[in-house]
Structure 1
Amino acid sequence: MVRMSAEERRESVIRAAITEFARTGYHGTSTEAIARRVGVSQPYLFRLFANKQAIFLAASERCLFDVRRIFEDAAEGLDPEAAVHAMAVAYQRLISEDPDKLMMQMQTYVAVAAAESAGDHEFGRSVRAGWEALWDSVHLTLGADPNETTMFLAYGMLVNTLVAMGFQGDHRVWTGFYDSARPVGGPPAGPATR
């Protein structure tokens, strides 16, 4: 049996944490559940991460990083107009193939909002930094046009919301999006205004 390095274990904890937090949120997820999913003891988990909050933040940061990387890969070498469509299609693929990434994003927003309302402004700082890096990447890809950046990300948030609530792809709430090849149950590939 091959032993995993601490870094490989850390990666497996982040993947497990994304799944667990995506399903039951920050407060509903126990570190025991994460440790069990990875196949390690809870004390070992805390050798890799200082506490539950550190695990959650690592999972949130990974989620935002993965979305940014998917956008960058999809848009590489394309002009802004083609990049919008390529990024939208890549994101549709991501949330269709790995719905935990979408739900982890949604849980992240809820956890940060709850912490902020309770006066804990540090909790969201790294999440906001990850979101800002995502915004900057999209912004540069779309020709540094703030309106295009805002529109793309706003449509993305609408897609997140509609998919998270379970609206099927043929439902009327998707009106205004384009992509005649949209699968039933999946989001459209991009905004209708393109």
Structure 2
Amino acid sequence: MAKDATTAVNRRSDIISAAIEVFAEIGYYRATTAQVAARAAISQPYIFRFFPTKEALLMTALEVSWGRIIESFRQVVESASPEKLETDLITAYEEILASYRNEVFLQMQAQTIQEDSIRETMRSGFREVRLIVLEAFRKAEIMNAEERTMLFLARGMLCNIAEAIGMPELKEP
């Protein structure tokens, strides 16, 4: 890859990371591309070289955050024994929540955004995660795989809420 192409990829990644932080901290609607640019230490017009709109930037940020969860869960599914599958998936998600807290907060905010493209990005992410977990539970012959999948996803949502409001006791069994 040429140096200019590498620099562009890195700058795009920097912009996405800055957007995740800014959107998670102050909210998508209140955030401006000027604030994202300042966080990424670039000029505001440079953002539009990569993203035609703030909404396109949000969609990409959400896709990155969902991709991280999906990849993590796929790795767990490939390596976990059936007996440890659910526990290993929970551990993987807890690690994501600890390391990529802003991405999770961004997803939580995006759940309330009514723009069709954002809603579809969120549905797509949830759909893929649900399918990975459901298929893994079925393959592991976990009883009531559909219900266990729903409970697993619900527990993840409860963990998000516990983290967001600073109430760790919600995560206790």
- TM-score (normalizing by structure 1): 0.77
* Percent of aligned pairs with the same amino acid: 28
Task: Tell me what 2:153 maps to.
Answer: 153
Residues 153-193 of structure 1: per-residue CA shift (max 9 Å, x gap): 1111111111111013xx3x445x1xxxxxxxxxxxxxxxx
User: What amino acid maps onto 1:164 in structure 2?
Assistant: A
Between 1:62-71 and 1:143-152, the stretch displaced more is 143-152
Gaps of 5+ in 2: 140-144
Residues 91-146 of structure 1: per-residue CA shift (max 9 Å, x gap): 112212232122112112122xxx2xxxx433311221122111111112222621
8 Å CA contact retained: 1:18, 1:100: yes
Residues 59-117 of structure 1: per-residue CA shift (max 9 Å, x gap): 11111111111222233232344111011111112212232122112112122xxx2xx
Q: Secondary structure at the match of 2:138?
A: coil
CA distance in 2, matches of 1:79, 1:146: 19
2:59 is equivalent to residue 57 of structure 1: yes
User: What amino acid maps onto 2:153 in structure 1?
Assistant: L
CA distance in 2, matches of 1:174, 1:59: 26
Gaps of 5+ in 1: 178-194
Between 1:76-85 and 1:134-143, the stretch displaced more is 76-85
Show the 5 A alignment for 1:123-162. 123-143=118-138, 145-162=145-162
Structure 1 residue 34: deviation in Å?
Answer: 0.8
Q: 1:90 to 1:123 in 2, by over 3 A?
A: closer
User: What amino acid maps onto 1:152 in structure 2?
Assistant: F
Structure 1 residue 31: deviation in Å?
Answer: 0.6
- TM-score (normalizing by structure 2): 0.86
8 Å CA contact retained: 1:80, 1:143: no
Task: Tell me what 1:100 maps to.
Answer: 102
